[in-house]
Amino acid sequence: MVTIESRRLCLEHIVSYCYFRLQECEQGEGFESTESSSGAARSASEILEEYRTKMASVLIVRTDLSNLERARLLDILLWATELFEKEKRRWPLRWKAQAE
């Protein structure tokens, strides 16, 4: 079981959920509005960072993963990193435009 975005799911469902959410992020301007366990809204960067750290920790801790499971987790890790970097590069431009 893995907890991500305050959801506790098995590995198979985490992979499906992450793919769905990453696709949602890539197609739009970010994630649909989500809230943390404290009720505060979370930014796309925070969610992507959570995906990155969770996938890395599962890959390190779980030694019983099949090659397919390991490949999917690595794919999610890389995709989340790519989107995180895009968000990071875009952030100053958004901020600058709002400040003017």
Tens-digit pLDDT profile for residues 48-93: 999 999 999 999 999 899 999 999 999 999 999 999 888 877 655 4
Residues 4-44 pLDDT 10s: 888 899 999 999 999 999 998 888 655 655 555 444 567 88
Predicted TM-score (pTM) of this structure: 0.76
Report how far apart, in Å, the C-alpha atoms of 100 and of each of 90, 91, 94, 96 are: 16, 15, 10, 6
CB under 8 Å, gap of 24 or more: what pairs does 50-59 form? 50/4, 50/5, 51/4, 51/18, 51/21, 51/22, 51/76, 51/77, 51/80, 52/77, 52/80, 52/81, 52/84, 54/2, 54/3, 54/4, 54/14, 55/18, 55/80, 58/2, 58/11
